[in-house]
Every structure is written in C-alpha cells, then in structure tokens.
Amino acid sequence: MIVFRIAKRKRASDISGYGASIFPGRWNKKGTPVLYTGESKEIALLEYIVHIPPMMSPELDILTIDIPNGPITVLTPEDLPPNWYQYPAPTILSEIGQMWIDEGKTLALKVPSSIIHTANNIILNCKHKDFKRVKILSQKKFYFDSRLRK
C-alpha cells in the first residue's frame, strides 16, 4: 500500500515516529512512536497545514511510502464517539490508538480525517514487527503555495 507524508525537509527522512512520541497526536500518547500518513497527497497536506502557524512557509518534502500488504485495522466514524473530529482531540482517541498499538496485531490503523471526514489517515505502529519493512519510495521537495499561509 502506498501512503504519503509531508514533513519539514530537515526531518522528513526520519520515519521512526520519534516526533510523534514527543509531540503526540490525536491517535497516540506521549512516549509512543507512530508515523502519521495520509492515503492521498491532498489529505497529507491538509493534515500538515492545520498544525503550522499562519504566515509560516516551511521548507517541506513529500514522502511516498510503501507499507507491506497485510491486514489493516479500520475505524470509521460509526466506530468512534460522536465528538471524534473535534479540536482539541478527545482523550478517548489516544486511548483507542494506544490499545491498537499495545495489541500489536496490525501495522496500520486507517482512521477518518477530522478535517475531511471522507478522507483517511493511515497511522503506522513503529513498534510493530513489520515496521522494518516500511520503505520510503521517494522524497521530493514540496512546493508550498503561498496562498495556503492565509
């Protein structure tokens, strides 16, 4: 399966999940390494830009990442609490994510984007036995259109 990630150029090639372990997101707790990716370039971009301050124009790269074929845990909005998409994220989501990580049954967790509910993010468990098979297929400079800074 091919997924995408947009990240600051300086750290883009680090797919260890270290950043998410320091600055946890919606689906992981502090100290737990995961890699947040999107199933499309577009959702990867939206997920990135909602976290950067206005008027900032960072140097970004876009990664195309291959994850091994295999079972994926899928969560739909119907599987989640009614407020799953709110910001800040309800704590229950990181608890759901932590249970998935601790179970270690699948490498990937497919979840709806809180920005566009019909798009999906793919969270990778960096502690999973198959994570070593995750490969960066390409890393390219991402052109950040200045109109996105507004």
In this predicted model, what pLDDT tens digit does every residue of 92-148 receive, in sequence order? 999 999 999 999 999 999 999 999 999 999 999 999 999 999 999 999 999 988 777
Tokens of 119: 């798009």
Nearest to 46 by CA among 138, 150, 122, 148: 148
- Give me Rg for the CA atoms of the chain: 15
How far is the C-alpha of 21 from the C-alpha of 75, rounded, in Å?
22
Sheet hosting strand 135-142, strand order edge to edge: 72-74, 108-112, 120-125, 34-38, 2-8, 60-66, 135-142
How far is the C-alpha of 13 from the C-alpha of 105, rounded, in Å?
26
pLDDT tens per residue across span 61-88: 999 999 999 999 999 999 999 999 999 9
Chain-centre distance for alpha carbon 74:
14
First-to-final CA distance of the chain: 33
Q: Would you call the peptide bond into 88 cis, given omega within 30 degrees of 0 as the criterion?
A: yes
Residue 33 · residue 96 · CB < 8 Å: no
Q: Which amino acid belongs to residue 76?
A: T
